[in-house]
Amino acid sequence: MRLNEYDWGSPGAPAVVCLHGVCAHGRRFRRLAEEHLADSFHVRALDLRGHSGSGWDEPWTIEAHAADLLETVTEPATWIGHSFGGRLVAEVTAREPGLVKRALLLDPALWVPPDVAEELARAELAKTPHASIEEAIEARAAGLSRTPRQFLEEEMREHLVESPDGLFRYRYSQTAVAAAYRDMGTLPPAWEALRVPTLLVVASHAKLVSAAELELYRAALGGLLQVVVVPGGHIVLWDAYEETAAAIDSFLATG
Judge whether 124 lies within some domain.
no
Domain count, the chain: 1
Residue 63, classified by CB atoms within 10 Å of its CB into exposed (0-12), middle (13-18) or buried (19+), is: exposed
Query: CA–CA separation, 43 vs 144, rounded Å?
Result: 27
Judge whether 134 lies within some domain.
no
Cα 14 vs. chain centroid, distance in angstroms? 20
Residue 220: which CATH number?
A: 3.40.50.1820
Q: Is the pLDDT of residue 255 over 80?
A: no
**3-class secondary structure for 132-166?**
CHHHHHHHHHCCCCCCCHHHHHHHHHHHEEECCCC
Q: Which domain does 23 fall in, by range?
A: 5-111+187-253
Judge whether 37 lies within some domain.
yes
Judge whether 217 lies within some domain.
yes
What pLDDT digit, counting tens, does each position of 33-91 carry? 999 999 999 999 999 999 999 999 999 999 999 999 999 999 999 999 999 999 999 99
Per 3-state DSSP, the chain is made up of helix, strand and coil in percentages (nearest 5) of 45, 20, 35
What pLDDT digit, counting tens, does each position of 212-237 carry? 899 999 999 999 999 999 999 999 99
Judge whether 156 lies within some domain.
no
Judge whether 118 lies within some domain.
no
Nearest to 4 by CA among 42, 65, 47, 51: 47
Nearest to 233 by CA among 92, 118, 82: 82
Tell if the pTM clears 0.85, that is, is over it: yes
